[in-house]
Amino acid sequence: MELHVSLDGPGDRAARIYLTLRDAVVAGRLAAGDRVPASRDLARQLGVARGTVTVAYDRLVAEGFLESRPGAGTFVTTVALGPDGARGARPGAVRPVALWDHEQPPNPPRARRLHDLSIGLPDPELFPLEVWRRLVADQLRRSRLAEATYSGRGSWRLRDEIARFLGLSRSVAATGDDVVVTVGAQQAVDLVCRVLVAPGAVVAVEDPGYTAMHRLFETHRADVRGVPVDDEGLVVDALPPDARLVYATPSHQFPTGVAMSLRRRAALLQWAREHDAVVVEDDYDSEYRWSDQPVEPLQSLDRDGRVVYVGTFSKSLLPSLRVGFLVPPRSLKAALHEAKRVTTWEGDLTTQGALAEFLGEGHHAAHVRRAAKVYRERRRSLLEEMTRLDDLLEVVPSVAGLHVSWRFRDPGTDDTAAVGRVAARGVRVEALSRYHRQATVRPGLALGFAGVAVDAVPDAVARLEAGLRGGA
C-alpha cells in the first residue's frame, strides 16, 4: 500500500518518518499484521535516500513497533495495537435529521439452533452453484464486459428474460422495456416512493405486515397507516380514504400466508380507481405454489394502470444475489428510470448478465421444479406433524410460499414468550405479533419449512410441542 508520510515539521527527515509511522500505529491506522512499504519503495515515494527510511525503520523495530521478517518484508507487530476502534470515524459534531436521529436496535446474533424454521430463507444447498459459477465466469470475459450498456434500467437481456418469465409463469403483462431491474425488492419499493410519495402522504400497509417495508415508507416521511388482514387478505373497507399508496402482498400475505380472494382483489382495484391511488403488489415468493389453481396477480387484473408489480429472485434462488425488479404502469416509467439513474444506476451488471443466461437457458425453471419437489415434501411433513398441536394452534390456509403460519386458539397467549421457550428447546420459529403495528394482536407462530430436512421435521415439531406445553 502507499503510505501517507509528511516530511513537514521539526526534526530531520528520518525523525519525521519515524514519528509519522509510530503515530499511525498508536492511533490504530496501522494495525497489527499490516505490512509497511519496503524501504526502497518508501524512499522513492518520498524522494529521500533509502538510508533515511532505513534509520526510521530500524528505530521502530528496536522499540517494538515493527518487525522484520526475512524474505517477507516489514510488519506492524502484534503487540503494537492502537486503541479499539481507532480506525473508525471520529465521533462528530453533526446530527442527522430527527427521523434518523436514533439508533435502530441491532439484530441480535443468531444463536445456533438444532432446527431453524426461520421464514423467508430458501435452502442454499439446492442452488445449482456449478452452473452459476460458469455463467458468472462467462460474464467476466472482456468481450462480455465490452457489451455492457448503461441505460439506468439494468441489463437489457435480463429485462427481456424477466418479462418473458413473468408472462409465462404469472400472466404479468410486460415487455422488457417495461421492466426495471433493482437491487432486491426493497430498492424497487424505494424507487416507487421517490416518485410517488411526498412528505406527509398517507401510505396504507397490511397489519400484520412486512415491517422493513413499513420503516422504508416512514423514511420517506409518509404517514403510514396499518390496515387489518383477515382470511380473505387486506380488508379493503378499512383503507384510509386519503391513502396515496397501498402496499400489499396478495398472493401470499406476509406473514400470515393467506391469499387475497378474487372478490377482495377486484374491490382493491376498484378502490384505487375511485381514490386515485396506486397499489404496490409485492409478489415476493409466489414461484412456489401448492395449489393447482394459480393465484391471479393484481397486475394482470388491472385495467387502469394503477398497479406497480414488484418481485425478487431472493426466494427462488438466493437472497445474496440481491436482484429484484418492478413492472410499473407506463405513466411512471420515465420517472422511475430517472430515479434509478440518480441512485444506483445499473447495479451489478455481471450478476444481471449471469441471471439473464440462467433464465434464458432454462436453469431457473429447472431449479424451481426441483426445489419445489423438495419443499412440497417438507411442507407436507410439517403440516402433518403440526396436527398434534391442533388443540393449541389453528393453521392459516395458504397456497404458496416457503412458510406457514398458525394462530393460537387462546387470543391471550404471549407468542413472544412462546418463541423463547421453543428456542430453549433448540427450535427457531417467529412470533406473528412482531409484525403488527397496532395494539390489537392476533398471536401466532410463523414456521419456515425450506431449511429443514424432511427427516428432521418430526423432531423439530416434537421439540416445539415440548416448548409450548412445558411452560417456562
* pLDDT tens, position by position, 38-71: 889 888 888 899 999 999 999 999 988 999 888 8
Average pLDDT over residues 239-243: 96
| % of the chain at pLDDT higher than 90 | 57
The answer on pLDDT for 302 being more than 60 is yes
Domain 149-361's class? alpha beta
CA distance 346 to 330: 20
pLDDT tens-digit readout, 346-378:
778 888 989 999 999 999 999 999 999 999 999
CA distance 247 to 224: 10
Q: How many helices (H) and strands (E) does the chain have?
A: 15, 17
The answer on pLDDT for 197 being more than 80 is yes
Which residues is 205 bridged to in the sheet?
Answer: 226, 247
Domain 13-76's class? mainly alpha
Q: Poorest-confidence range of 152-156, 319-323, 343-347, 383-387?
A: 152-156
Average pLDDT over residues 334-341: 90
Check: CB of residue 367 under 8 Å from CB of residue 316: yes
pLDDT tens-digit readout, 15-24:
888 888 888 8
CA distance 437 to 407: 17
pLDDT tens-digit readout, 146-191:
665 555 556 888 999 999 999 888 888 889 999 999 988 999 999 9
User: In terms of DSSP bridges, do strands 223-230 and 233-234 run parallel, antiparallel, or are they unpaired?
Assistant: antiparallel
Of 346 and 453, the structure prediction assigns the larger pLDDT to 453
pLDDT at 317: 87
pTM, whole model, 2 decimals?
0.80
Contacts of residue 358, Cβ cutoff 8 Å, sequence gap at least 6: 131, 132, 135, 364
Amino acid at the residue 158: L
pLDDT at 105: 56
Q: Highest-confidence range of 89-93, 114-118, 384-388, by mean pLDDT?
A: 384-388
The answer on pLDDT for 85 being more than 50 is no
**What stretches of 105-230 adopt beta strand conformation (E)?**
115-116, 180-182, 202-207, 223-230
pLDDT at 461: 95
Residue 356: which of 142, 178, 156 has the closest Cα? 156
The answer on pLDDT for 103 being more than 70 is no
Average pLDDT of the chain?
87
Domain with CATH 3.90.1150.10 in the chain: 115-122+366-470
The answer on pLDDT for 108 being more than 50 is yes
pLDDT at 99: 78
Of 30 and 203, the structure prediction assigns the larger pLDDT to 203
Q: Poorest-confidence range of 125-129, 325-329, 412-416, 437-441?
A: 437-441
pLDDT at 286: 79
CA distance 228 to 215: 18
pLDDT at 147: 61
CA distance 283 to 312: 8
Average pLDDT over residues 63-82: 82
SS3 12: coil
pLDDT-derived band at 329 (thresholds 50, 70, 90) equals: very high
- 208: cis peptide before it, omega within 30°? yes
Average pLDDT over residues 381-392: 95
| % of the chain at pLDDT higher than 70 | 90
Domain with CATH 3.40.640.10 in the chain: 149-361
- Site of grid cell 407506463: 330
Q: Poorest-confidence range of 104-108, 188-192, 201-205, 254-258?
A: 104-108
The answer on pLDDT for 92 being more than 90 is no
SS3 327: strand
pLDDT-derived band at 427 (thresholds 50, 70, 90) equals: very high
Check: CB of residue 445 under 8 Å from CB of residue 430: yes
User: In terms of DSSP bridges, do strands 393-395 and 223-230 run parallel, antiparallel, or are they unpaired?
Assistant: unpaired
Domain 115-122+366-470's class? alpha beta
pLDDT-derived band at 28 (thresholds 50, 70, 90) equals: confident
Check: CB of residue 174 under 8 Å from CB of residue 217: no
